[in-house]
Amino acid sequence: MLPAPDTVFIGVSTKMYMGYAHSLEWVEQLVAEVDARPALTAGRVVPFVIPSFPVLPEAARLLAGTPLVLGAQNCSWADGPWTGEVSPSMLAELGVGLVEIGHAERRRYFGEDEAMIALKVSAAVDAGLTPLLCVGETEVLEPEAAAAMVFLHIKAAVSGDWSVASQLVIAYEPVWAIGAPEPASAEYVSRVVAALRESLAQHGLAGIPVIYGGSAKPGLLPQLDGVSGLFLGRFAHDAANFGRVLDEALSFCTADALKTPSRGR
């Protein structure tokens, strides 16, 4: 799932907010929102959905033939004797294309450190999955300082192998904005991502996808500069809001308002 440089990603995770039946009903609603927007088949806007593990097989069936990419909320670092874990190879077998790694909640509450995250990233890439690497500062900083911290997170996650980094989608999620009433300001996010891209450019990676998450909702995307899309949470648990953000992304692309890397994205 290696994207074109100007691809816009719009995705949503359910975390554990929905039960099994509710999750599938919601996935069907997302499919309806996507089907109502045939321009998505062009591939410039890539929608993705990340439900709970038990939902994945049936969700894969519901998403078959649609532009929606199926994601998983986590993965193990290997096959084998790891009770309760789910391997990247099994996720790939189920039709998963993208896997979330290193979310702030995994880091804080489940003790996932940089070494474990690096193992998971490597295992996901080996299984043919695209890691959606979650990174972000824990408190409000100057944008340049926040970008420097995020850059170090990315470097650690790929164990310094920048060829691996080229296969990631970066979810920039300031920890202090997750679950907040409002997202980080558009100016702050844009400045952090711009500074981050300057650091990544030293490794030929200025154009890798960097999407924003952290209380993201409709109306934010048009205000951002140099950001490759949004990673939505609770606001998109109403499927209509997911559709509204898709419209914003499609409008952005149609108007050529989202700059390509060669023009400073």
What number of residues does the chain have?
265
- Active-site residue, 105 included: no
* Helices (H), ranges, the chain: 20-35, 56-63, 88-93, 104-109, 114-126, 143-157, 162-165, 186-201, 239-254
From the list 112, 173, 237, 248, the catalytic residue is 173
Instruction: Name the token pair of 207.
Output: 């154009």
Q: How are the residues of the chain apportioned to helix, strand and coil, as percentages rounded to the nearest 5?
A: 45, 15, 40
The answer to whether the CB of 221 falls within 8 A of the CB of 9 is no
- Active-site residue, 203 included: no
Reduced to 3 states (helix: H, G, I; strand: E, B; else coil), residue 223 is helix
Reported for 59-67, long-range contacts at CB under 8 A and 24+ positions apart, including other chains, are 59/23, 59/24, 59/27, 60/94, 60/95, 60/96, 62/24, 62/27, 62/28, 62/31, 63/27, 63/31, 63/95, 64/95, 66/31, 66/34, 66/35, 67/34, 67/40, 67/41, 67/43
**Separation of alpha carbons 130 and 117, rounded Å:** 14
Instruction: Name the token pair of 20.
Output: 């099994």
From the list 33, 103, 112, 137, the catalytic residue is 103
Catalytic residue list:
103, 173
